[in-house]
Structure 1
Amino acid sequence: MTLSLWLAFLAMALAATFSPGPAVLLAVSTTLTLGARRTAYSSAGNAVGVFLVACVAVGGMGLLFKAWPPAFSALKLAGAAYLAWLGIKQWRHAGQVGAAAMASAPQGSSRGAVFRRGMLVACSNPKAILFFAAVFPQFMPPGAIDVMRFLLLSLTFVACTFVAHLSYVLLTAAAGARIMSGPRMAILQRGTALLFIGLAITLAFE
């Protein structure tokens, strides 16, 4: 794979990963509620989920979705339901930060739970599978799957995802330090909850 081709993919990956979406919103809301350190587990989970999505897409799931639309619809509705659940949960715990949030929801605030939540958000996005199914073939040799090139491209995308999330987390932590208590924090958390629910509705009816 030539350097120019890899740089073209890198530019595309950075543009895609820095565009706000469910995973970025999850990173922001987790930072506001549990802090930047705990959000690192969510970002790691999302990176693992992105790699799994790439494997599934290249393995033919994207073609299945195109050939059999009900499969895409089922995954789309499942993803929408999960985003809506995250929004409702965020709304219920609005105003709680750090230790208070972990004390009130111990089952959903452990490192493992935060990691799984990040991974599920990545895996429940059917658009991501179609994205990889459409983009990866353009950077692969015609009519073949180059394993080394696939690993290079997918790990490049995973690294871009982690860098994008880390950037949003640091920005949120810096801004949130001024509003980590009081009614403004509750308003901000309820705002992210409504965004989750809005994304769920958009995904379900798009």
Structure 2
Amino acid sequence: MQETYLSGILLAYAAFAIGLFSPGPNIMAIIGTSMANSRSSGKSLALGIATGSFLWGTLTLLGLTSLLTFYASLMTIIKIAGAGYLFWLAFKAFKSAGKHQTQELNSIALGDNYWAYYRRGLLIQMTNPKAALTWIAVISLALDQAAPWWVGLSVVVGTTTLSAIGHLVYAYAFSTQTMVTAYRKARRWIEGLLGSFFTFAGYKLLSSDT
């Protein structure tokens, strides 16, 4: 039984981890804050965002579990919606790969109050309207109506760990202009690979048994 869900859990981890390679406003804020202020500021912001990821993951899991308890047939609709969002991410990645311009860095200045940076990161993530769709797509890669409780918990714990590590790496490694320049040179190739992976993940979600 464990092996039945292992591939789905690993695919969920991969989808979440791969998504971290496509910097959105959150990650650009971490990089910009680390460069303009300090790595410690960026790390505090990163931990706040990771905490927000955990809360979104937990809320999504509880919501999906509650729905499936009473309406098992909704799993098909949820997986179609999740796959649709993954295909949308693939489209955005391919579109971004075709562009020459990159996103601008966004620095946050809150002095040396690291707790304030943490709170700001948490607020940024919890008010992100795309977070719910992201988590529905990620969790549905591993979940079905017969999945035991530990499957969803494994996804939430594992992706929260990936979120903390990934965002901290951005705060630490990309706090110098050299690293930012190197990433921007490779960005279009990275976005192309991301688009390919999200397309694959969307296909796997649609073709999986519900």
Do both share a fold (TM > 0.5)? yes
Partner AA of 2:121 in structure 1: G
Is the deviation greater in 15-24 or in 110-119?
Answer: 15-24
| Counterpart residue number, 1:198 | none
Residues 1-206 of structure 1 mapped to structure 2, 5 A cutoff: 1-2=2-3, 3-60=6-63, 90=107, 105-106=110-111, 109-142=112-145, 146-175=148-177
Give, in angstroms, the shift of residue 58 of structure 1.
2.8
Q: Deviations over 1:20-59 (max 9, x none)?
A: 1122012112102221122221111111100111122234
Give the SS at the match of 2:141: helix
Shift of 1:4: 3.0
- Do the aligned partners of 2:60 and 2:135 also contact (CA within 8 Å) in 1? yes
Asked if the contact 2:50–2:163 (Cα under 8 Å) also holds between the matched residues in 1, the reply is yes
Question: Percent identity of the aligned residues?
Answer: 25
Rounded Cα–Cα distance in structure 1 between residues aligned with 2:176 and 2:28: 16
Aligned equivalents of 2:31, 2:169: Cα separation in 1: 10
Contact 1:50–1:122 at 8 Å: present in 2 too? yes
Residue 137 of structure 1: how far off its partner (Å): 2.8
Q: Distance in 1 between matches of 2:24 and 2:40?
A: 21
More helix by share: 1
Aligned CA distance change for structure 1 residues 138 and 8 (closer, same or farther; 3 Å): closer
Matched letter for residue 166 of structure 2: A
Q: Secondary structure at the match of 1:44?
A: helix
CA distance 1:176–1:31, shift in 2 (3 Å): farther
Secondary structure of 2:20 counterpart: helix
Q: Give the Cα separation in 1 of the matches to 2:48 and 2:16.
A: 18
Unaligned runs of 5+ in 2: 68-76, 78-103, 180-210
Measured on the aligned residues, the alpha-carbon RMSD in Å equals 3.0
When residues 137 and 5 of structure 1 are mapped into structure 2, their CA distance, relative to the original with a 3 A threshold, is closer
**How far did residue 128 of structure 1 move?**
1.1
Contact 1:53 1:123 in 2 (8 A): yes
- CA distance in 2 between counterparts of 1:18 and 1:44 reads 17
Separation in 1 of the partners of 2:176 and 2:36? 14
Could you list the structure 1 runs, at least 4 aligned residues long, displaced by more than 4 angstroms after superposition: none
TM-score by length of structure 2 reads: 0.56
Query: Which one-letter code corresponds to 2:134 in the other structure?
Result: F
Secondary structure, in 3 states, of the residue corresponding to 2:144? coil
d(CA) in 2 for partners of 1:42, 1:24:
10
1:55/1:25 CA distance change after superposition, 3 Å: same
